[in-house]
Copies of this chain bind each other. A is one copy, B any other.
Amino acid sequence: MHQKAAHDPTSARRPARERTGVWFVGARGSVATTATLGLAAIAAGLAEPVGCVTARPPFDGAPLPAFADLVVGGHDISDVSMVKRAELLVEAGMINARLLDATHAALERADAEVRPGYDPHLRAGSAGSSGSAGHPGAGPESQGRAAERLAADINSFRTRHDLARVVVVDLASTEPPAETAPEFEDLDLLQAALADPARTVLPPSSVVAYAAVLAGAPYAGFTPSASMHLPVLLELATQRGVPVAGQDGKTGQTWLRTVLAPAFEARGLRVLSWAGTNLLGGGDGATLADPQAVRSKLASKNRGLQDLTGTGVTPLHIDNVPDLGDIKVAWDHVHVEGFLGSRLTLQTTWSAYDSMLAAPLVLDLARLLALADAAGLGGPVPELGFFFKDPWGSDVHSAADQAAELARWVGHAADRAADRTPTETPHQS
């Protein structure tokens, strides 16, 4: 069985500091390409890990895999290579041309590790040239078979590169909100459905999440798509000792909101409304121009804010403005009641390359989930809530509280990992 390796007790005991795989779902997108390019630049000493949470105290003393020990692979349904994607980002002014020159070879190496992703619109066998994609001319691939194929890709990557573990990070395009189904609550029902080629009970992101569990690979859900966030999958991850964290990376406007809202609360000031708008172009802008897809995003963006402020008046929009490219501009207007019924307003305008915000956090998650795995944790890791708009297993949304929680957790996880791996010397294969 594919998941056998994951359950091999020796594997989980390999220390976090060892060579670790980072398996991007959506490996040829902007965020994964930027992260891969950045990893190469950092490893080569051409860039500092600015924007990485784990590159500074107290994390810099923790037993995390070094940036140079992260090896990239992934799934994607796109044929546009990482190098081509990076060239587009250079043209858009986001990435420095010389930095691409210096990391070109590393991007090509990573791209060679990209396997065809799960595409529910494709029949089995048409997914490309990968041998693992099924037999040419075969009938429809069941979701169960697809998940096994994806898990096999991850396991093969781990073995091929002798990696202590592989962390899967979902960076694929946002899906519309999933309808609920009885199969999401019951493993037997789910497995029956997965075996049936005629059924597509899981949203695509959840097929991938299931594959990660099968492969025993720690998993981060960086998008608002359902992915691992189905009761049956979270339970399975817990049972099999696979640490998972999500959901929907908290990179810009939402992060800012979870910085500010608790601060108003600590001042005893009462937020009356928090209105916002987002402008962005790029692929993300186009995806979110779809009114269905954007619903997932808007819901996860607002949940924490309403929780933190107690107000339900939080109108929010995401507009596709193609000329902005990967730049995200977000405006917020906060209307607050102060002393004696007085009113104050705070407006914020945030402007940043979205992928440049996400990429370092993705690397952080890979490092931290490697530690979680070495520490023997399984299921949702609530203390990784710092990274997410909608944290699994936690209702803490305050960025400051999350940062404090994360710092404490790393200490505990490091102790626990040390207990499980008597010597922190590199693993002998």
The 8 A CB mask of A164-185 against B (1 = contact, 0 = none) is 0000000000000000000000
Residue of A321, A340, A342, A351 contacting most chain B CB atoms (<10 Å): A340
Contacts of A38 in B (CB 8 A): 339-340
Interface presence of A16 (CB below 8 A)? no
Known A273-B321, A348-B347, A403-B266; contact A50-B338, beta-carbon cutoff 8 A: yes
Known A41-B340, A340-B99, A353-B342; contact A50-B348, beta-carbon cutoff 8 A: no
Distance between A19 CB and nearest chain B CB, rounded to angstroms: 22
Distance between A49 CB and nearest chain B CB, rounded to angstroms: 7
Contacts of A272 in B (CB 8 A): 323
Task: List the one stretch of A139-147, A328-336, A366-374 in contact with chain B.
Answer: A328-336
Interface presence of A193 (CB below 8 A)? no
Interface presence of A260 (CB below 8 A)? yes
Interface presence of A298 (CB below 8 A)? no
Shortest Cβ distance from A263 into B: residue: B259
Interface presence of A293 (CB below 8 A)? no
Known A53-B268, A268-B56, A335-B323; contact A340-B403, beta-carbon cutoff 8 A: no
Known A268-B49, A277-B317, A348-B346; contact A338-B323, beta-carbon cutoff 8 A: no
**Inter-subunit contact B323/A342 (CB<8 Å):** no
Instruction: Give the CA-CA distance A350 to B342 in the complex, in Å.
Output: 14
Q: Which of B270, B331, B339, B360 contacts A331 (CB 8 A)?
A: B331
Residue of A51, A52, A338 contacting most chain B CB atoms (<10 Å): A51
Contacts of A342 in B (CB 8 A): 94, 352-353, 356
Shortest Cβ distance from A270 into B: residue: B50
Residue of A277, A348, A351 contacting most chain B CB atoms (<10 Å): A277
Contacts of A349 in B (CB 8 A): 345-349
Q: Which of B320, B340, B356 contacts A338 (CB 8 A)?
A: B356
Interface presence of A208 (CB below 8 A)? no
Instruction: Give the CA-CA distance A93 to B97 in the complex, in Å.
Output: 11
The 8 A CB mask of A73-88 against B (1 = contact, 0 = none) is 0000000000000000
**Inter-subunit contact A55/B273 (CB<8 Å):** no
Instruction: Give the CA-CA distance A52 to B267 in the complex, in Å.
Output: 7
Shortest Cβ distance from A361 into B: residue: B267
**Inter-subunit contact B350/A256 (CB<8 Å):** no
Interface presence of A275 (CB below 8 A)? yes
Known A275-B321, A279-B333, A317-B317; contact A55-B340, beta-carbon cutoff 8 A: no
Interface presence of A235 (CB below 8 A)? no
Known A266-B53, A346-B256, A348-B348; contact A34-B277, beta-carbon cutoff 8 A: no
Shortest Cβ distance from A51 into B: residue: B339
26 A-B pairs in the complex with CB atoms less than 8 angstroms apart: A38-B340, A47-B339, A50-B270, A50-B337, A50-B338, A51-B268, A51-B338, A53-B266, A56-B268, A255-B263, A266-B400, A272-B323, A273-B321, A275-B277, A275-B321, A313-B321, A315-B320, A315-B321, A338-B352, A338-B353, A342-B353, A344-B352, A344-B357, A345-B351, A347-B348, A400-B400
Q: A47-B341, A313-B321, A346-B351 are in contact. List 13 more A-B contacts (CB 8 A).
A: A47-B339, A47-B340, A50-B341, A51-B268, A52-B268, A56-B265, A95-B340, A259-B263, A273-B279, A329-B333, A331-B331, A338-B360, A404-B404
Name A residues whose Cβ lies closer than 8 Å to a Cβ of B.
Answer: 34, 37-38, 41, 47, 49-56, 93-97, 99, 255-256, 259-260, 262-263, 265-270, 272-273, 275, 277, 279, 313, 315, 317, 319-324, 329, 331, 333, 335, 337-353, 356-357, 359-360, 398-401, 403-404
